[in-house]
Structure 1
Amino acid sequence: MTEPLQLYYYPGVCSLAPHIALREAGASFEAVRVDLRPLKTETGDDFARINPKGYVPALRLPDGGVLTETAVLLQYVADTWPEAGLAPRHGGLERIRFDERLIFISTELHKGFAPFTIMPNAGEEAKRWAGQRLAARVELLAQDLGERPFFHGERFTVVDAYAFFALRTYHKLFAGELPPHLAAFLARVAERPAVVATFAAEGLKA
């Protein structure tokens, strides 16, 4: 007997992206909150035994295996529910370009938040350098989006779920204005029913 999918998350952090993607896909899953200090699930399980890496997101599969890393979870959701249209099919340059965007957000934005979020005792010089680097990456995202409603065109994809988390986090960290079309993108995504439902499930304010 297979078990249902379980998404291990903490409100508002990077696990927000696969949480949104699962709802966009219409997947049946259980969202399990993790308290990061100490590493315990809401039911009292030791999260380090579920994901020895010690961070969210993690996705327990029906066979009992566990997937980690935000970009991987997003690809898994897109490829497991292809009818939802959350990514191009594998087998061509379109998918390679799509994955390029996904990895850019993962490595150049998501991980760039560390001096402001999880890095202990980050110095002011390191923060200044990281902030300038993040601003340059956000400008590249702005150029990439252009006048399109979503990053891959007219249709919402898992790249948009990841970009939504990253741009929302950037805006919260630096309390600055985003370029108008990126701000419009955030507002557009925030109104999607799956995103509204995810925010309600995680207890977040829009």
Structure 2
Amino acid sequence: MKLYYAPGACSLSPHIVALEAGLPVELEKVDTKTKRTANDQDYWQINPKGYVPALALDNGELLTEGPAIVQYLADLKPESGLAPTHGTPARYRLQEMLGYINSELHKTYSPLFRAETPDAVRAERTEYLRKRYRLLETHLAKHTWLVGEHFTVADAYLFTVTNWAKHVNFDLSEFPALLAFQERVAARPKVQAALEAEGLVKKAAA
């Protein structure tokens, strides 16, 4: 399998999941501005949607959309516990959380990255994020992880998206449980490995 990614983008989530599951996944970096891959391929020809992540499967098919990709990877290694079993109430809770992060957080960050976004829109989106994070803060004040008692793909997704806050000057200090969650996830060896591979943190000295 090959994962098309951009450093620190939402593709970091399936990158983390692949490492956590122990799945061999080849990485192919994509320049999101030029839409060229590290091998100088036209990314539009690979993924007509034009954005990352995209997962090239061994059978030649292409799977897109982060929430779908992370569940697919988790299901390849069910013993990893990264996603509850299909058909169980816990699986639907996982999908509920993935949907919330995708629609309420992920897409809300998008305009904050654009320099041309008007200040009024920026302020409105920031306040919207603040409201959505309050729900997660309440949950994380009582629970270590988002779904159940173990790290899941939802945690990888929330960690990835919330990492963007520092890049758009969104202050998270009012969410201590969320910040503690970010530290817990960042401390995981496989998460550190993903961050290092994408050049987001320096590799620890041997």
**Does the pair score TM above 0.5?**
yes
Match of 1:170 among 165, 173, 193: 165
Amino acid aligned to 2:87: G
Amino acid aligned to 2:155: D
TM-score, normalization: structure 2?
0.93
After the TM superposition, which segments of 4 or more aligned residues of structure 1 sit over 3 Å from their partners?
A: none
1:190 and 2:180 aligned = no
SS for the counterpart of 1:174 is coil
Amino acid aligned to 1:146: A
| Gap regions ≥5 residues in structure 1 | none
| Gap regions ≥5 residues in structure 2 | none
Q: Which residue of 2 aligns with 1:102?
A: 98
1:153 and 2:148 aligned = yes
The alignment-based identity, stated in percent, is 42
RMSD over aligned CA atoms reads 1.4
CA distance in 2, matches of 1:32, 1:56: 11
Is the CA contact 2:93–2:147 (under 8 Å) kept in the aligned structure 1?
no
Residues 103 and 93 (structure 1 numbering): CA distance in 2 closer, same or farther, change over 3 Å?
same
Is the CA contact 1:20–1:195 (under 8 Å) kept in the aligned structure 2?
yes
1:72 and 2:56 aligned = no
Amino acid aligned to 1:46: D
CA distance in 2, matches of 1:52, 1:98: 28
Q: Which residue of 2 aligns with 1:48?
A: 44
CA distance in 2, matches of 1:44, 1:178: 43
CA distance in 2, matches of 1:178, 1:74: 29
TM-score, normalization: structure 1?
0.93
1:12 and 2:3 aligned = no
Amino acid aligned to 2:116: N
CA distance in 1, matches of 2:168, 2:75: 32
CA distance in 1, matches of 2:83, 2:33: 34
Amino acid aligned to 1:202: E
Offset from partner CA, 1:116-155 (integer Å, 9 cap, x none): 125x732111111111101111111111223222112331
Report the number of matched residues: 201
